[in-house]
A and B are shown apart, each in its own frame.
Chain A
Amino acid sequence: MSYVNDAIAAISTPPGQGAVAVLRLSGKDALTIAAKVFRGRQRPAEATPRVQNFGTIVDNSGTVVDQVLLTVFRSPASYTGEDLVEIGCHGGALVTRRILELLLSAGARAAEPGEFTQRAFLNGKMDLTQAEAVMDLISAQTSLALRSANEQLEGRLGGAITAAREDLLNVLAHVEAYIDFPEEDISPETGSALKARMEKVANLLDGLLATANRGRILREGVRTVICGAPNVGKSSLLNVLLGFERAIVSDVAGTTRDTIEEAIQVRGLPLRLVDTAGVHAATDAIEKEGIERTQRQLAGADLILEIVDAHLPDQTRITLPVDSQAKHILVLNKTDLGLHPNWEGTQGVALSCTAGSGLELLCDAIFDLLADGMGENSASMVAINARHYDCMSRARDYLTAAMAGLDNNDSPEYTALEIRSALDAIGEVVGKVDAEELLGVIFGSFCIGK
């Protein structure tokens, strides 16, 4: 942990589903970082402290991620004593996580356990008795964090990150040997051989970064959106999957006006089910809002279960957002009433919510599409969390810069700086590299001794 006032960010509400969630951002650059992702009537730097500001969080392309209430606390009148921004967003693991990612990519660092509290203490926001508690808290949290880190590090995740670190250390040893021992009869790799070595590490990092999504799915569940035209049985499917009446089910089209989330497990795979308002041209305002929300839900989905009433000849189909990464399953419902010939030969799962038939087929389809090897053996359940992701994506960026420097024939000490920065970033997960460790690798690999 570094004792500096660089900006840190974290989700402050417990993980899981709630009506609202709160993210906190604290540090010297908190207001600047918030300004990069927040669009509202006032910029965070100009906002009146302690007053809620309505606005939106947008991503790099300007797409709205969520509507939020942003509150600015000016140093020293804040929880941490630093400039602090609280962002109240719609509860939901996906939205909060996405906002956290945006804050991290805007320049914040993922906070260590207890770091907000620690800063509050260090900035004199707490008295002596509270300090005692904080110290206990921090030592407990760090030892807990250490324990959990160690447990994780014993597994394949640790192995993979440690391997990336070792490979990168070897890359650095070649560069440093080339710098510090110009007169030795040694041949540290340079140029394309060194580049190949770097690419190997880059691939390793990319592989690890790719597991971030799997990690989120394991922790937070597959974000599953049930959608379709009004009255095709979306809520019925939700209820059948849940095994109890959750949504209001009626024959009046458009009864479900809000999204509803529930968690279930399919063959051990966690799913967060979202039932949405029907897709049709809405007239009343509340329903219109519901439909817009459906579009947002679709944009963030991992899995879309699109239902059609298959005993009818045709139906309004959903339009997937262009950049959607979601898996898609077409559910042909109401087959107990007969399958209309128009649907014959259509790829999909035929079932009947009212008759309760075909559910096993749907579960198989979901598992096949999303399990991605998970669940069969725990060793492949390796996944990185948000903090790891933050560290490793920074490492990956530095590595990209190092490779560019190599292509550009930059002098090796500049490439070395990028590699060291990458190692430092990985070091936040698996331990920093110090000069002695580096020299050990150099002297172990090369015969130095003029």
Chain B
Amino acid sequence: MTQAFGDQGADQAPGRGSAPAEWIGRNPVAALVIAVAIILALWLVLAPWPAGFEDVFGKKRLFINALFNGITLGGLYFLVATGFTLIFGLMRNVNLAHGSLYLFGGYMGYEAGQWTGSWLFSYVIAFVCCALIGMAMQFLIFRRMEGQDLRQTLVTLGLSIIFSDLMVWVWGGNAIQIDTPDYLVGPVPTPIVVAVKSSGEAVFLQYPRVRLVIFAASVVIGIAMWLALHRTRIGVMIRAGVDDRDMLSVLGYRVQLLFVAVFAFGAGLAGMAGIVGGTFQSISLGEDSHFLLASLVVVIVGGMGSIPGAALGALIIGCSEQFGLVYFQNYATVLSFLIMIIVLAIRPQGLLGRR
């Protein structure tokens, strides 16, 4: 916990709201470069491409689809990784069973959907089930070995081995697809031109409604979490705990309760993400380690314990995976790890992480 000293005030902007303006004033060149990049990116997405462009990047439809898939996949990764990063930030516990919670949530959501027929209700079930497991883990095990980072991590590892084997036992090795509810089936027209017909008529992109809705939901969850962390009493306690856990408990706050709550919330989010994953793709044996690794990479890239970092990392990793699938098929998954290695080499604490 050496980072607790000295740099507490470093990232706090002096006045609320003036931070971006001040930053632009200090770095005019960087701000200009970023502005130009944003305009270029918008043009790349919205306008039809000139002829020479498609030779280099392939069909625009492919590019835009990869971009949209990447961003929506990023939304899913964000849901999984925020819980992971919150738990790590507050309790210094690397929860290697996080992928198992994701998978368990997916299976519970599937069962609940089969039973009640309601897709939305299955989210409640998945959240509650995973939150209960998270609470039990924190209350029964991790409370007893506080401050022993490595031992806690090893316990989560043991739990993940057991969980994944038990889930194979109950649900077997076959992939399960969660049905999209009727009101979310089908494509949505978007105002993005992907091609121009020979008659001069523009072709607009159609995109699955369910992916857009889920992405919007994860953005809402992200903003709500940010507001909860920065505008409520519990949020202040959590942020104080991330900075200096011992001090918070010395001040008389009930840290143990806070730990249980945060663990339950993070686990519940992972469980809900399981349903999202089951609807987007499918859930099956092995998805637990896939999503554990995804959240590891997201959190390492974005910065340990930082929620905006998790959002940024999720976006980067989601996009890199989808673009990799389109442009470098042989190395698709390796690409996101390559990004991780580069970030580690340049900025070991992650893009938005603090030392």
**Is chain B a partner of chain A in the same complex?**
no
